[in-house]
Structure 1
Amino acid sequence: MDTTDTTPIIPEPAKRKRFASFRKSLTDFFASLYNINAFIIRFFKEAFLPPYEFKEIIRQCYETGVRSFTLISLTGFIVGLIFTKQSRPSLAEFGATSWLPSLVSIAIMRALAPLVTALIAAGKVGSSIGAELGSMRVTEQIDAMEVSGTNPFKFLVCTRVLATTLTIPILATYTGLISILGGFLNVYVNEGTSYRTYIGQVFDPLSFIDFTAALIKSIVFGFTIGIVGCYQGYNSSSGTEGVGKAANGAVVTAMFLIFIEEITIVQITSWFR
């Protein structure tokens, strides 16, 4: 019986190279984690201390909210219409189409309205913030602000994060109402349900916890979109390539964190029901 060991022998230099690569990756990970935490802590230190940039905050709220109004309206209406249309056949099998308004309201107000709004904002607003700040960083406009005595972090970062944190809950509420209106159109065409009856059935199963959880999720999502977009753009490098990476990183990272936060908040909320 042949007992020869055929396991390939890894040269010692190759092992050291792999270990060095792994150590560098681990070091970079913890360094990035430290930088992110320091960035968030700096925001909370400077956001609520004078001087306050109220005009810039209002301008950023306009950029975040009003300029997203058309897209949010169209998306919210379609979500409510399609969700109602797709849910009807399943309920019709059990003769429970009268439950459709309640199902629509629970699904939209508890989950879809904040989540859909946050995902749209992450793609539109988050990428815009990342690209704008990234462009200012690579063209040294931020450095010029620091030299001139202006605090670029307060003017550029704090205002945008506060704007998204304030605006996303408003947009999410509006999305929920427009989605419910889209659901009403489908219910009215198929069942002939009056608007008063439909609205009564929509708000009947909702509780204070549902509205509170939706509001908390919207605030958290808005803060996440703003802080991620600002971090990616404020710390970008490598010229124009860095601007693209900042915009892409803002969208991908924000969406990933939004899903994690959605799962976490839903789990916490379920403990109070």
Structure 2
Amino acid sequence: MRNWLTTTGDKGLRYCDHVGRSGIFLFHTLYRCPRPVKSFPLLLEQLYAVGVLSLSIIIVSSLFIGMVVGLQGYHTLSRFGATQQLGQLVALSVVRELGPVVTALLFAGRAGSALTAEIGLMKATDQLASMEMMGVDPLWRVVSPRFWAGVISMPVLAVLFSALAIWGGYLVGVKWLGVDPGSFWNNMQSSVDFRLDVVNGLIKSGVFGVVVTWIAVFQGYDCVPTAAGIARSTTRSVVYASLTVLGLDFILTTMMMGGW
């Protein structure tokens, strides 16, 4: 019993220490916001690495997810003779939930893991320590551009995901299954509210962008500088970010729907 309490207390203290250090790390990262002139090339480079290189997985995933939602929605609505509501079902499902959440999960798996591994490798090869010896702040030079690139890229990728997923649902519903195109677009436009749906989806994607990128860069910066340590940190980055996104999605949805 005593050993169990000791182990539980030790894990709890280490968890609190980890959360506290990550919070301090986020504060220092925000404080060292990139300066527009000097840091713009660094930010632009990371926007390409984090955002542009994530386009392929976002485009392919969004099209297939939209087509699956359209196919499943059509067969469900056909039982009630309401196939003309397919546009409403696809649009609301994608804009409110699937767009922000799936984009964040894909972003965590592709860009988040890359950020963690890259920063972890720089730490393992003493590049971060060398910067400090030369008077260069690694948080400003390495971490901050990657953090802000992730924050900026996530909402853009989420908007692209939502648009392509709706188009995928349109291809299946209208071009394949024969739903009237006018009904598809009219029902979608009449049911999607800009403030309640589009803006809330953008808010979700912005929050997810901050959290996923924060976890990724912190895991890389805080990792044990060995091959095994980098591997563990990369795994934790994806797992922690994915679980946090799903938990935050419930909290944000409850707040936006007036549950609190």
Interval of TM-score (by shorter of Structure 1 and Structure 2): over 0.9
Amino acid aligned to 1:232: Q
For 1:56, the aligned partner's letter is L
Matched with 2:68 is 82
Deviation at 1:211, TM superposition (A): 1.0
Equivalence for 2:255 = 268
- The reply on whether 1:68 has 2:68 as its aligned counterpart is no
CA 1:192–1:89 in structure 2 vs 1: closer, same or farther (change >3 Å)? closer
Task: Give me the identity figure in percent.
Answer: 25
- State the Cα distance separating 1:257 from its structure 2 match: 0.7
CA distance in 2, matches of 1:86, 1:192: 14
Q: 1:19-76 CA distances to partner (integer Å, 9 max, x unpaired)?
A: 4433322321221121111111112221266875111111111111211111111100
Output aligned runs, 1:205-244, within 5 Å. Answer: 205-207=191-193, 208-244=195-231
1:205 maps to amino acid: S
Residue 237 of structure 1 aligns to a residue whose secondary structure is coil
Within 2, Cα distance between the matches of 1:134 and 1:82? 38
Give, in angstroms, the shift of residue 192 of structure 1.
4.7
Q: 1:132 aligns with which of 112, 115, 118?
A: 118
Q: 1:186 to 1:19 in 2, by over 3 A?
A: closer
Question: Aligned letter for 2:151?
Answer: T
Cα deviations by residue, 1:100-133 (Å, 9 ceiling, x for unpaired): 1111101000100111111100000010001000
Structure 2: gaps spanning 5 or more residues? none
The amino acid of 1:264's aligned partner reads I
Residue 255 of structure 1 is matched in structure 2 by: 242
Tell me, in whole angstroms, the C-alpha distance in 1 between the residues paired with 2:50 and 2:25: 22
Listed one character per residue, the Cα deviations across residues 151-195 of structure 1 (whole Å, up to 9, x for unaligned) are 11012111111111111100100011100110111111212523x
Amino acid at match of 1:213: N
Write the letter of the residue equivalent to 2:232: K
RMSD: 1.9
Larger Rg: 1
Who is 2:156 aligned against? 170
Match of 1:27 among 13, 21, 27: 13
Secondary structure of 1:271's match? coil
CA distance in 1, matches of 2:77, 2:233: 45
Q: Does 1:201 align with 2:187?
A: yes
Report the counterpart of residue 39 of structure 1 in structure 2: 25
Cα distance in structure 2, aligned partners of 1:19 and 1:180: 52
Structure 1 counterpart of 2:78:
92
Please, what TM-score do these two structures have when normalized by structure 1?
0.89
User: Hey, what's the Cα distance between the residues in 2 that align with 1:110 and 1:29?
Assistant: 32
Q: Please, what TM-score do these two structures have when normalized by structure 2?
A: 0.93
Q: 2 CA distance for matches of 1:123 and 1:101?
A: 30
The count of corresponding residues between Structure 1 and Structure 2 is 258
Which residue does 1:6 correspond to in 2?
A: none
Name the residue aligned to 1:115.
101
